[in-house]
A and B are shown apart, each in its own frame.
Chain A
Amino acid sequence: GAVVSQHPSWVICKSGTSVKIECRSLDFQATTMFWYRQFPKQSLMLMATSNEGSKATYEQGVEKDKFLINHASLTLSTLTVTSAHPEDSSFYICSASLVGGGPEAFFGQGTRLTVV
């Protein structure tokens, strides 16, 4: 199967700082990647769809100026949580699908963000 690598696995940061999370497709090219957020005992919530070479599409209620997404290459998408606050503490996870390979999603390992 396709491999998606996400980094870092966990991060602790102070309020007001920014955190960048990387999502890489290691053995395939991903024109589209997806960013999800999961709070404890909640479902994965789609935050945005990241499109290579163009602006990301954000889901309703997700602040695009706070969650900056960059998809500059076919193997890398980044999510930057700007001016992080404790309420941003969550499990962030990316996924990608194989072009022409069906709708199955391959997930990164996730990033556990704690803002103190």
Chain B
Amino acid sequence: RKEVEQDPGPFNVPEGATVAFNCTYSNSASQSFFWYRQDCRKEPKLLMSVYSSGNEDGRFTAQLNRASQYISLLIRDSKLSDSATYLCVVNNQAGTALIFGKGTTLSVSS
């Protein structure tokens, strides 16, 4: 089983749509969870951290289920500028580095 698994997509949605991404991770000892955004040929940028209590930042909501080792990201009212690849990220077993999922590609069209 891969350390971090995501549905690669692509997800093609119209502006204003709500879209959800899912991610599972294999290391039950992971303590830190994130969603990063990566635009084509660019470095990843932190979108938001993910907490057990769930957290929201504007149109973005992240959820963590430790029992199921499952992370989600919900984007409401999609904008054209949301088009990117969304990376699910957890820390490694030693807690020293980040392990990335393959990414889920989102394309928002007008």
Question: What is the interface of chain A, defined by CB distance below 8 A to chain B?
Answer: 32, 34, 36, 41-46, 49, 91, 93, 95, 102-105, 107-110, 112
Contacts and interface: CB of A to CB of B under 8 A. Distances in A.
A44 B41 contact: no
Interface size bucket, B side?
20 to 34
Interface of B: 4, 8, 31-32, 34, 41-46, 49, 87, 91-92, 95-103
Interface SS of B by simple majority: loop
A91 B38 CA distance: 13
A103 B91 contact: yes
A110 B40 CA distance: 12
Nearest to A110: B43
B43 A32 contact: no
Contacts, number: 48
B97 A44 contact: no
9 contacts: A43-B100, A43-B102, A44-B87, A45-B100, A46-B92, A93-B43, A103-B91, A104-B34, A105-B98
A49 B43 contact: no
B34 to A, nearest CB: 7
Given A104-B34, A107-B43, A110-B42, A95 B98 contact: yes
Max count, chain B CB within 10 A of own CB: residue among A34, A43, A93, A95: A43
Given A34-B97, A49-B96, A49-B97, A42 B44 contact: no
Contacts of A43: 4, 87, 100-103
